Structure 1
């Protein structure tokens, strides 16, 4: 089955409007057959990744105990599959860290066995 998807590339400020032809095999696995609208090679790579396995940085907060802030913003060091975000949030919701926390501290190593660490995005001092 062949379909066409249209979305904007987000790899640079140009935000090219991409038109992507997608063919799904009998098992429902998507294969990109054509990409149009990209003004650079990154757009083609982005379109293929977005159709096959969309990846996103996950940003949220974690509870801090004994800190001058109650929450510390955190993010994944690199993108993880968007399909894992719900499971990642369930794991992160249970986390607690003790102050002090420094920006870049690893809050959760190898989140959901993705090979990607969850790190603090801000310093939090002791209360």
Structure 2
């Protein structure tokens, strides 16, 4: 006898400005893990289908924060990952970056930290900072 539960979820796709309202039927095991995505409706393009599957199995987000700057005209540098990383890694990334300091000058797009948490995705600067 199966203890899996099928439920219907609704959430917006965020892959484009249309923000389609997706209706997703998903089967979960007793521990809440996704066993299978049965259907995705409401998407007006194939990206919505892919987004729904990814959001339920391994949600991804671009990680954004700030790092300290040494000898710069600003005290903090906004940074972000060059691509989305698993949401489950965000707290670990924050722990790693918390003690990081960069030296001015730095330009938008410069790599601040290569291969963040072995994801093959770099942490990059989101603005220019000149020397003080």
Aligned equivalent of 1:53? 58
CA RMSD of aligned residues (A): 1.3
| TM-score between the two structures when normalised by the length of structure 1 | 0.94
SS of structure 2 residue aligned to 1:124: coil
May I ask how many residue pairs the two structures share in their alignment?
A: 127
Query: Which one of 8, 28, 34 corresponds to residue 12 of structure 2?
Result: 8
Cα distance in 1 for partners of 2:93, 2:8 equals 30
Query: Which one of 15, 19, 22 corresponds to residue 18 of structure 1?
Result: 22
Q: Alpha-carbon deviation of 1:42?
A: 0.7
Cα distance in 1 for partners of 2:130, 2:104 equals 6
| TM-score between the two structures when normalised by the length of structure 2 | 0.91
1:113 aligns to 2:112 (yes or no): no
Gapped runs of 5+ residues in structure 2? none
Q: Stretches of 4+ moved more than 4 A in 1?
A: 25-28
Cα distance in 1 for partners of 2:38, 2:122 equals 33
Q: Alpha-carbon deviation of 1:27?
A: 6.9
Aligned equivalent of 2:107? 102
Gapped runs of 5+ residues in structure 1? none
